Structure 1
Amino acid sequence: MTFSIIARCARTGQFGIAVSSSSPAVASRCAFARAGVGVVATQNITDPRLGPQGLDLMARGATATQCRDILVQNAAFAQFRQLAILDARGDTAVWSGAHTLGCHAVSTRANVASAGNLLAQEGVPDAVTRAFDESDESLPLGERLLVAMRAGLAAGGEAGPVRSAGMIVVAEQDWPLVDLRVDWDEAPIDRLAELWTVWRPQMNDYVTRCLNPLSAPSYGVPGDE
């Protein structure tokens, strides 16, 4: 019911994940990222506990492969889970249990991986990673994730229409630089791109407002002078 991308920006060191599904509120269950640590996508018949568990393992020094192996060995009903994991070095590891739904596939390249289930065709994850790999590295990571997700959609996406999408990007702080979600829409990836165009010009301003309010730009709302 899902296809996703996890990625590292080699230029900035940022980590990101984008995901879309026919189910509502997909990012709330499937997308996990931590600055300086990595990314975990946990999907298919989803166990959201695997996201924080995987990030904790990598924070303690596990590689993506070690993280995957530990999660699969210890998780309840691992045969129903699909995982994509990326560590601080940009290495990736994936897992699709024996009970992964429908047409499913994974694809990995340097600094990026994609996984999907109930897909229209097996080439969707490879279309996602290829589009990311070929995208302009000078673009913000959020932009490159959206390019990749649209490529996955153009390659067929899910077997049925997607209804929700989300994107998280982490940079230097403990909270996400980007955390955008579309929880139920006829064209959620397009709506996510629209949210990105609103958020992108001001996302760094909110970091400044936290770290140094004295140098923060105006809020641009009525009553703010």
Structure 2
Amino acid sequence: MTFSLVGRCARTGRFGAVVTSSSPAVAARCAWARAGVGAACTQNVTDPALGPRLLDALSAGATATEALAEVVAGASYAEYRQLTVIDQAGAVASHSGVHTLGTHHTVEATDCLAAGNLLTTPEVPEEMVRAFVADPAADLGDRLLAALSAGEEAGGEEGPVHSCGMVIVDKAPWPVTDLRVDWSDSPMGDLERAWKIWAPQAADYVTRALDPTAAPSYGVPGDE
């Protein structure tokens, strides 16, 4: 019911994940990232606890492959889970249990990993990866959205998608971008519109958190 990509920007050290699904509120359950650590997705018959567990293992020094092996070994019903993870070095690992739904596939490339289930075609993750690596100099958010769009254009899920989201981490201990469309007939278009509004302001919100005295005007009534 889902296709996703985890990725790293080698230029900035940022990590991110993007995901879409026919089910509601997919990003709240499936996409995870931690500054200086990596990113992960947990999908198919989703256990949201597995995303943080993957990041905890990375934080403790495990590689992507080691973190995945540790989490899968300790997970209940691992045969129903589809997991992806990328570590600080850009190495990736994935798991698709024997009960992963429908046509499913994972594709690895430099600094990224795409995965999906209930796909119209295995080419969906392939096209997502191709779009992500096409312009390494672009903003990570633009690259993640390009990957999501490429997956949709390649056929996407067997049924219509209704939710999507994108999470990006940088140096701050919170996501610098966490955009979600929890239910819509055109979730990817809604996400792209939200990104166009958010992207020019994202750095300002970090500044406001770290040093309000250096923050730009808020642009609201009463702000002088």
Letter in 2 for 1:66: E
Taking the aligned partners of 1:140 and 1:110, their CA distance within structure 2 comes to: 16
Map 1:203-222 onto structure 2 (within 5 A): 203-222=202-221
SS of residue paired to 1:130:
helix
SS of residue paired to 1:166:
strand
The aligned counterpart of 1:194 is 193
Structure 1 unmatched runs, 5+: none
Taking the aligned partners of 1:224 and 1:38, their CA distance within structure 2 comes to: 37
Taking the aligned partners of 1:213 and 1:5, their CA distance within structure 2 comes to: 34
The aligned counterpart of 1:33 is 33
Structure 2 unmatched runs, 5+: none
Map 1:82-161 onto structure 2 (within 5 A): 82-134=82-134, 136-161=135-160
Taking the aligned partners of 2:167 and 2:146, their CA distance within structure 1 comes to: 15
Provide the TM-score with structure 2 as the length reference.
0.99
Provide the TM-score with structure 1 as the length reference.
0.99
SS of residue paired to 1:179:
strand
| CA deviation map 1:144-191 (0-9, x unaligned) | 100111000000000111000000000001000100000001111111
Letter in 2 for 1:185: S
SS of residue paired to 1:120:
coil
Taking the aligned partners of 2:12 and 2:27, their CA distance within structure 1 comes to: 23
Taking the aligned partners of 1:88 and 1:65, their CA distance within structure 2 comes to: 12
Taking the aligned partners of 2:126 and 2:69, their CA distance within structure 1 comes to: 23
The aligned counterpart of 1:224 is 223
SS of residue paired to 1:195:
helix
Letter in 1 for 2:164: A
Give the total of aligned pairs. Answer: 224
SS of residue paired to 1:137:
coil
The aligned counterpart of 2:61 is 61
SS of residue paired to 1:148:
helix
Moved over 3 A (4+): none
| CA deviation map 1:4-29 (0-9, x unaligned) | 01000011000000000000000010
The structural deviation recorded for 1:137 is 2.1
The structural deviation recorded for 1:103 is 0.6
The structural deviation recorded for 1:210 is 1.0
| CA deviation map 1:99-128 (0-9, x unaligned) | 000110000001000010000111101110
Letter in 2 for 1:152: G
Letter in 1 for 2:86: L
SS of residue paired to 1:181:
strand
Taking the aligned partners of 2:41 and 2:124, their CA distance within structure 1 comes to: 16
The structural deviation recorded for 1:140 is 1.0
| CA deviation map 1:14-58 (0-9, x unaligned) | 000000000000001001100000011000000000011111100
Taking the aligned partners of 1:177 and 1:128, their CA distance within structure 2 comes to: 23
Taking the aligned partners of 1:86 and 1:158, their CA distance within structure 2 comes to: 23
Taking the aligned partners of 2:71 and 2:155, their CA distance within structure 1 comes to: 30
Taking the aligned partners of 1:102 and 1:198, their CA distance within structure 2 comes to: 36
The aligned counterpart of 2:181 is 182
The structural deviation recorded for 1:223 is 1.0
